[in-house]
Structure 1
């Protein structure tokens, strides 16, 4: 059964913004500042350029292949099943880590001391339930969460700019080339949400027109927000941002307006929920696409006859995220997520490079720059995250090889 096309352009933009303006804007500045130092804005610019290249590739591919699964489906069609599998597997492992990071950030801002894990698990379960009752409910809730998040961020930015003249920020450490690139890799975590629009291509109305527009609009909006927040963090905190788990709350404290700290906490919790909701939705659709091709168990390809959502995939994804929440570390989750997502977009750029004729919307130079950018950033991420990510990618490749051998033995024919 196919998914229903119920999402408008506005819905798609909201889902993309909800994915990008999430926990990252409230949590990424600490590790990014520690890595990039005074090169923070250079790192942000590099992350944005790589994200733009990847976004245009995703938009070009989605216009021709408006189906669920994102780069998993595009790479299968353009460069072969193995490339598609590696893209889909990388997306799943990266975004499962992202979901855990979003849930933990939500709990850090919203939960009483000692209850963080319980609240994080409850959030994942509740949003998975929302996803199981129809994509229009997902889009509506995402719109609400995005609006609340943006209002909260507007308050923080206004406070930061108004108090910047009296602030005494600690000077940022000198930049190094490696530090700037590692900071860019960590900041890329914040921009990767536009993929959610592409992975839901089977549910967007007029996808050839709406998906490319939604991706570019969502990425542009997120970049503006991140640039404003970065300026405020540097002007008010400087190097001290690296010492705060909640740097935007520290901005409010530095201005002497601790009474408004609950506003920041509400905005952070809301943004984290919006990103988590959109992430769970996108992972469920990629799982559905991979199950349809037997790259994951076909049992996961079931679509609910009434709600028209991949409910089995949604439930399994939620259970895995809950398991990660119980054992994971927030900082490690960000690095691990960036590793998987950068591999995913590397393959997206390669698939878009192969497109010819009327399918081409952007110059190939952008796709070449996207590939080089992904390779560069993935090699500057924390070593532990990269090693674990490489190991899990190898596990996925071995799984598919075994599955193909079993299929050949049963059917007596080659399996793709």
Structure 2
């Protein structure tokens, strides 16, 4: 058992570090383009669903405090196929999130440097280069320390707060209007699709639950930390969205560097590069963190033979699961080649919603639930419903990968039984 050293404040900071990044700097612009001013409703709906799922995760973490998240909960409370599917969806979701972070960080860098890339080809190449560099860092065993994580979070928070404060001042001077600047009729399809995309922005709260072995009084601390983290992030997202919707320059909002484009209209020359710096720092940190975390998930699944045993091998003189790291990096690279942040983020949304549907289903198997059962039921229905509001080709591809994974899992279990 790991030593319990993480208190409420530390758990909240870990959650914020996982939630403020790609969702804020990239997906918010995509969702705003879909839903217009109704994105404010989508933000609240996504936060509500995230809260239901977060409390389910907290209940499971308190009942079964081990690393592995829903991959372990599915095995323990449901069945091996459910556990495998949760792990498989987690890998796919986070690989897609990592690809979005790589593409998004390069989009902000290109905007910052004033480089034209209408085809997006050079941004894809730069994102692959960034991935290669960070893969080498991980292979060398260099981990991001808690101090570096704090610095990244500080830079990101400062840039976002300046964006909000200066943006509000600019809108007051210009007489910007939230509804007149981006008014459009309510579309239920667009609202639900925006909600699905924004849900991923809140999904970082799971980091708090998976640290159950290291949290002091987890039964009390984890639910409070999840609730407070989601509340802080919701307030931050709402503030940023009010500024984005009130901006007169929304034509370029669909670019991956949406906040930087809006910031360029405020008449503050130094703000745009500072926004770019905050975005790049946050997304590079997320990409590095995902490379480290995903390689360990692959290692754990390979040890259980849910993935090829080769991926569980660690060189005799090394401490890094080289095969697992390279496999994860290769998967992220394939998604980067798609070159479209909306597609990669949508795929991440579908995968993570299926993952949390299994989380809620596992929670319903618990006796003496810590929270009302209707929260888990609401989370289950919401996740399954929203998963199929992303683009049709995305959820069809996702379902195909689920079937492919289950076919592999069935073949492996049958081979073991012989």
Same fold, TM-score > 0.5, yes or no: yes
**2:363 pairs with one of 326, 345, 352:** 352
Q: Offset at 1:84? A: 0.7
Aligned ranges 1:300-315 → 2 under 5 Å: 300-301=311-312, 312-315=323-326
Contact 2:66 2:210 in 1 (8 A): yes
Q: Take 2:184 and 2:88, find their aligned partners in 1: how far apart are those partners?
A: 37
Counterpart residue number, 2:86: 87
Q: Offset at 1:57? A: 0.9
Counterpart residue number, 2:295: 284
Q: Take 1:390 and 1:352, find their aligned partners in 2: how far apart are those partners?
A: 23
Q: Take 1:240 and 1:316, find their aligned partners in 2: how far apart are those partners?
A: 39
Change (3 A) 1:313 1:202: farther
Q: Take 2:213 and 2:132, find their aligned partners in 1: how far apart are those partners?
A: 25
Q: Offset at 1:245? A: 3.7
The gaps in structure 1 that reach 5 residues or longer are 410-416
Are 1:343 and 2:342 counterparts?
no
Q: Take 1:212 and 1:33, find their aligned partners in 2: how far apart are those partners?
A: 30
Q: Offset at 1:309? A: 6.5
Q: Take 1:7 and 1:284, find their aligned partners in 2: how far apart are those partners?
A: 25
Change (3 A) 1:200 1:237: farther
Counterpart residue number, 1:405: 414
Q: Offset at 1:335? A: 0.6
**1:173 pairs with one of 155, 179, 184:** 184
**2:377 pairs with one of 365, 368, 371:** 368
Q: Take 1:230 and 1:217, find their aligned partners in 2: how far apart are those partners?
A: 20
Contact 1:167 1:255 in 2 (8 A): no
Q: Offset at 1:292? A: 2.8
Q: What SS does the corresponding residue of 1:184 show, helix, strand or coil?
A: helix
TM-score (ref. length: structure 1): 0.87
Contact 1:38 1:173 in 2 (8 A): yes
Counterpart residue number, 2:36: 37
**1:142 pairs with one of 143, 149, 167:** 149
Q: Offset at 1:207? A: 5.3
Counterpart residue number, 1:232: 243
Counterpart residue number, 1:22: 21
How many positions carry a matched residue from both structures? 405
Q: What SS does the corresponding residue of 2:272 show, helix, strand or coil?
A: helix
Change (3 A) 1:74 1:297: same
**1:153 pairs with one of 150, 157, 160:** 160
Q: Take 1:135 and 1:76, find their aligned partners in 2: how far apart are those partners?
A: 32
**2:399 pairs with one of 390, 393, 403:** 390
Counterpart residue number, 2:96: 97
**1:317 pairs with one of 313, 324, 328:** 328
TM-score (ref. length: structure 2): 0.87
Change (3 A) 1:54 1:132: farther
Q: Take 1:6 and 1:314, find their aligned partners in 2: how far apart are those partners?
A: 28
For residues 49-70 of structure 1, what are the alpha-carbon distances to aligned partners after superposition, in whole Å with 9 as ceiling and x for unaligned? 1111111111111122222221
Q: Indicate the larger mover: 193-202 or 50-59.
A: 193-202
Q: Offset at 1:34? A: 2.5
Contact 1:12 1:204 in 2 (8 A): yes
For residues 267-322 of structure 1, what are the alpha-carbon distances to aligned partners after superposition, in whole Å with 9 as ceiling and x for unaligned? 11112123223333332333233223211123434578999765543342123212
Q: Offset at 1:5? A: 5.3
Contact 2:51 2:226 in 1 (8 A): no
Q: Take 1:299 and 1:7, find their aligned partners in 2: how far apart are those partners?
A: 34
Counterpart residue number, 2:170: 163
Q: Take 1:143 and 1:352, find their aligned partners in 2: how far apart are those partners?
A: 33
The gaps in structure 2 that reach 5 residues or longer are none
Change (3 A) 1:68 1:109: same
Q: Offset at 1:18? A: 2.2
For residues 56-97 of structure 1, what are the alpha-carbon distances to aligned partners after superposition, in whole Å with 9 as ceiling and x for unaligned? 111111122222221011111111111111111111111111
